[in-house]
């Protein structure tokens, strides 16, 4: 079972797989070393996509912060640079016996890829005689999820917890709704109740919603250039001011509503690109789509209340969990169709549920949104989660609303199933050339000058 709280994680930007995941892995390794009383030296080595795009994604800083014991959900985004700078100066991790020199002990391995996933990390600890004390491999498999090799094998062997209402496909989910009479958010909630109390679930969902909206609010206030040297200017603030200035005008184009949806997504992704506090949904690169559509639901659709917001998130998580289990939500595995496409499918499903759509309409909305992202590659310029990522979220959010609207105006009957489109996404990602999967070795990344 993939929990709603695994898919929606409060963390920091710019990348769930390349920032959040490595920080989590490094922190886990720190705890291992602390449990054995320390070491004389430790090293971290990153492979594949983490090495190729790691500097732009802040992977090195994330690993330093994780080794210092910080977690993505609690670290103050304004302290990431000062903390890592101090570590580079002092070498002090707070682990007995260890002096860590990032230039020597943090290695970008551009040649090799670890066997189970392109986002591999290897942490080692040595004693004073340079004998190996600990040797751990982690994989950051997308959306901030981190597994060891043994954990990855346990999942593929089916050695996982079974929820009371399990579903492994869109078809099974629809059958469950027919058999039990429950809605999709009610089914997801019943499964969540095996992990947490109802009060904890409601509070957790509300905290996710609040973190998403707070991210939008901060993004609307910030101005200036995004970090990284690409000289990309933030534009959410100016767009917001422009929309506010014409709010009471007599003649406004009907398509203005698309600007509001775009605005919310731009605000989140500009915050993400600057390393701010965001909610992984289901990844950081695609973190603007679910919040944008959720905010659109609150501000522009009738009958908003807390319960509708929770139904939105539970439904989006049910769909995101299916996509993760049956294909991937990782740009490094299947390209941007797996990040922005998945987020759009989740948001479309959530909006349809919040507006009272049936289970069949929800499945239809998710299918439409995913279908029209098929084939989309991942080619961020300079390895920064800025171009094309930020605008791409604005498009994904608008497509999600179109998908929900089309579905709600139908009866849920449709030709292509969600399962078929997820499988198509998986196969397309498998066939996609490696250079289009978060390596910055193809596409826009090689055709647009980075400076």
**CA dist., res. 368 & res. 346, Å (int):** 11
Cα distance from N-terminal residue to C-terminal residue, the chain: 44
**CA dist., res. 314 & res. 319, Å (int):** 9
**Residue span binding ligand SF4 (CB under 6 A) among the ranges 238-246, 256-264, 346-354, 384-392:** 384-392
- Please work out, in degrees rounded to the nearest 5, the angle formed at the alpha carbon of residue 312 by the alpha carbons of 297 and 300: 5
392 binds ligand SF4 (CB under 6 A): yes
Place of tokens 């993505």: 72
Nearer to ligand SF4, 19 or 84 (CB): 19
340 binds ligand SF4 (CB under 6 A): yes
Q: Taking the CA atoms of the chain, what radius of gyration do you get in angstroms? A: 22
Look up residue 81 and give its two tokens.
């640079």
Q: How far is the CB of 390 from ligand SF4 (least distance, A)?
A: 8
Q: How far is the CB of 325 from ligand SF4 (least distance, A)?
A: 19
Scan residues 278-307 and list those touching ligand SF4 (CB under 6 A).
Answer: 285-286
Other beta carbons within 10 angstroms of residue 190's beta carbon come to 15
68 binds ligand SF4 (CB under 6 A): no
Nearer to ligand SF4, 163 or 282 (CB): 282
Q: Measured at CB, which residue is nearest to ligand SF4?
A: 285
Number of residues in contact with ligand SF4 under rule CB under 6 A = 13
DSSP secondary-structure letter at 18?
I
163 CB-side CA count, 13 A: 19
Binding ligand SF4 (rule: CB under 6 A), the pick from 192, 271, 339, 367 is 339
Cα 319 from chain centre: 14
Q: How far is the CB of 97 from ligand SF4 (least distance, A)?
A: 38
- In sequence order, the β-bridge partners of residue 12 are 277
Peptide bond just before 14 cis, omega within 30 deg: yes
Nearer to ligand SF4, 98 or 265 (CB): 265
Binding ligand SF4 (rule: CB under 6 A), the pick from 62, 137, 184, 378 is 378
Say if residue 410 is exposed, middle or buried (CB neighbours under 10 Å; 0-12, 13-18, 19+). Answer: middle
Q: How far is the CB of 63 from ligand SF4 (least distance, A)?
A: 19
Nearer to ligand SF4, 13 or 380 (CB): 380
Binding ligand SF4 (rule: CB under 6 A), the pick from 331, 341, 357, 429 is 331
Residues at the interface with ligand SF4 (CB under 6 A): 285-286, 331, 336, 339-340, 378, 380, 385, 388-389, 392, 438
């Amino acid at each position: 079972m993939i929990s709603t709280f695994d898919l929606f994680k409060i963390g920091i930007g710019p990348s769930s797989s390349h920032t959040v995941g490595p920080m989590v892995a490094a922190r886990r390794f720190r705890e291992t070393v602390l449990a054995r009383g320390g070491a004389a030296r430790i090293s971290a080595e990153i492979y594949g996509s983490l090495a190729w795009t790691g500097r732009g994604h802040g992977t090195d800083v994330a690993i330093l912060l994780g080794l210092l014991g910080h977690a993505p959900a609690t670290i103050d985004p304004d302290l990431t640079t000062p903390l890592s700078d101090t570590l580079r100066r002092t070498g002090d991790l707070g682990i007995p016996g260890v002096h860590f020199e990032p230039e020597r002990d943090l290695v970008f391995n551009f040649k090799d890829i670890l066997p189970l996933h392109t986002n591999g990390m290897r942490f080692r600890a040595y004693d004073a005689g340079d004998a190996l004390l600990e040797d751990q491999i982690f994989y950051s498999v997308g959306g901030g999820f981190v597994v060891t090799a043994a954990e990855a094998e346990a999942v593929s062997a089916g050695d996982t917890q079974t929820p009371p209402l399990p579903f492994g496909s869109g078809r099974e989910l629809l059958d469950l709704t027919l058999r039990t009479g429950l809605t999709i958010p009610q089914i997801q909630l019943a499964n969540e109740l095996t992990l947490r109390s109802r009060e904890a679930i409601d509070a957790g969902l509300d905290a996710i919603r609040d973190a998403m909206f707070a991210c939008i609010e901060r993004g609307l206030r910030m101005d200036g250039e995004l970090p990284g040297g690409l000289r990309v200017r933030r534009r959410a603030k100016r767009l917001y001011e422009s929309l506010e200035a014409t709010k009471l005008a007599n003649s406004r184009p009907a398509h203005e509503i698309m600007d509001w949806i775009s605005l919310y997504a731009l605000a989140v992704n500009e915050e993400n690109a600057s390393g701010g506090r965001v909610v992984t949904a289901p990844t950081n690169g695609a973190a603007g789509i679910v919040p944008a559509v959720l905010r659109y639901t609150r501000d522009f659709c009738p009958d908003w209340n807390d319960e509708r917001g929770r139904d939105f998130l539970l439904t989006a998580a049910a769909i995101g969990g299916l996509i993760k289990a049956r294909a991937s939500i990782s740009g490094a595995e299947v390209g941007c169709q797996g990040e922005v496409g998945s987020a759009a499918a989740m948001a479309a499903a959530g909006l349809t549920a919040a507006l009272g759509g049936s289970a069949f309409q929800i499945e239809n909305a998710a299918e439409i949104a995913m279908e029209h992202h098929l084939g989309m590659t991942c080619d961020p310029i300079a390895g920064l989660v800025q171009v094309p990522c930020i605008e791409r979220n604005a498009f994904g959010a608008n497509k999600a609303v179109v998908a929900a609207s089309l579905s709600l105006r139908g009866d849920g009957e449709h030709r292509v199933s969600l399962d078929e489109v997820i499988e198509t996404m998986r196969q397309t990602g498998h066939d996609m050339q490696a250079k289009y999967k978060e390596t910055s070795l193809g596409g826009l990344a090689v055709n647009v000058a980075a400076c």
